[in-house]
Amino acid sequence: AQSVSQHNHHVILSEAASLELGCNYSYGGTVNLFWYVQYPGQHLQLLLKYFSGDPLVKGIKGFEAEFIKSKFSFNLRKPSVQWSDTAEYFCAADSWGKLQFGAGTQVVVTP
């Protein structure tokens, strides 16, 4: 069955630390990949997306993600986090229209 898995449920780190969140998907064929973020009390919003082309994609707020087809992975990175990056992060994959999400990773950035 098609699925999306995220490696960590909770991550706590200090400001200025680097962040990497793992995401793997189990789709065959063409797949579109996304990272969404949900800040406390807000809607889910798109951070970045990959459809084709350069496997390293840049998103908003300094985030980037790398698509590695051979590993079925789409990991999210940010070199230096801020307190305002405290949020829940969701990886998602879309194949033939069915957009499925991972379980989410709660990220807490301490001052």
Partner 1 sequence: GAGVSQSPSNKVTEKGKDVELRCDPISGHTALYWYRQRLGQGLEFLIYFQGNSAPDKSGLPSDRFSAERTGESVSTLTIQRTQQEDSAVYLCASSLASGGPEAFFGQGTRLTVV
Residues lying near partner 1 in the complex (CB under 8 A) are found at 6, 32, 34, 43-46, 49, 51, 90, 94-104
Q: Which is nearer to partner 1, 49 or 77 (CB)?
A: 49
Q: Which is nearer to partner 1, 81 or 104 (CB)?
A: 104
Give me the least distance between CB of 25 and partner 1, in Å please. Answer: 14
Give me the least distance between CB of 15 and partner 1, in Å please. Answer: 25
Contact 99, 92 (CB under 8 A): yes
**Exposed/middle/buried for residue 107 (C-beta within 10 Å: 0-12, 13-18, 19+):** buried
Q: What is d(CA 26, CA 91) in angstroms, rounded to the nearest whole number?
A: 13
Give me the least distance between CB of 80 and partner 1, in Å please. Answer: 25
Cα torsion 18, 20, 21, 22 to 10°: value is: -160
Q: Which is nearer to partner 1, 40 or 111 (CB)?
A: 40
